[in-house]
Structure 1
């Protein structure tokens, strides 16, 4: 019942705008701060790797191995992806453009930060993001998705008709 309400109700869509704007602002400002502030992930990555030791490690060994074996040697890639990923997720959420995809990418970043032993606002952001993901199209209905999603659906339907002319539409 709650899922149906999130996906179909106009009031729920309005609540999603508030959540989108909050999360979008958080991502946008975090990304912009990194873009303009000379971001370097190497210290964060080394700190996360260091949290994988001891009696009660905050970082699981499999994640620390990923950070040490892939992320740290490719820190320049992460120095680009993290700030621009945060910034673009923020813009997309604020504008309501490709909302569910942007929310999913934001959640993936939140989980990566939590896997690295950082709590901060990440759990709160994941929880709010779940509402956007469950709401689906309704989360971006008061945004650019109102125009983007029907356009894409129309293009896909036309392409399907061209590829399968024997299929009849109702």
Structure 2
């Protein structure tokens, strides 16, 4: 019942648009700050790895191992992905363009930051993003998804990839 209400109600779609734009603005401002501020991930990654020690580590050993063996040696790539990922997620959420994909990308970044021992605004962003993801298409109803998604569904290559019937 709650799921149907989130996915189909026009008034809920308006509230979701406000949440979506708030999250988008938050991501965009964080990303712009990183792009223009000389952001570099190596210090953050080293600090996160250091939080994996002690009796009650803030970072789990399996995540620290990933950071140490994959992320830290490739910190330039991760720097680029974080900066521009935040900017692109922000723009997409503000515009309501590919809303569900942007929300999934955003929540993935939130969880990566949380797993790395950083709290900040990440928990509230996760909670709000869950509403967008559960709401599905209704989260982008008052955005560009309203026109872009029906257009994409009508395109033959997309229809074949998604195995959609011709009459949909």
TM normalised by structure 2 equals: 0.94
Calculate the aligned-residue CA RMSD, in Å. Answer: 1.9
In our comparison, the structure showing a higher alpha carbon Rg is 1
SS of 1:136's partner is: helix
Unaligned runs of 5+ in 2: none
What residue ranges of structure 1 are gaps of 5+ in the alignment?
none
- State the alpha-carbon separation in 2 of the partners of residues 57 and 132 from structure 1: 31
Deviation at 1:158, TM superposition (A): 8.4
Query: 1:92-120: CA deviations, max 9, x gaps?
Result: 00000000000000000000000000111
Aligned to 1:127: 127
Runs of 4+ in structure 1 over 3 Å off? 156-160, 167-170
Q: Deviations over 1:51-80 (max 9, x none)?
A: 000000000000000000010000100111
What TM-score results when the alignment is normalised by the length of structure 1?
0.93
Give the paired residue count.
166
CA distance in 2, matches of 1:113, 1:168: 42
**Aligned equivalent of 1:147:** 147
1:18-69 deviation line (CA, Å, top 9, x unaligned): 1001100000000000000000111100000000000000000000000000
The 2-side partners of 1:168 and 1:40 are apart by 48
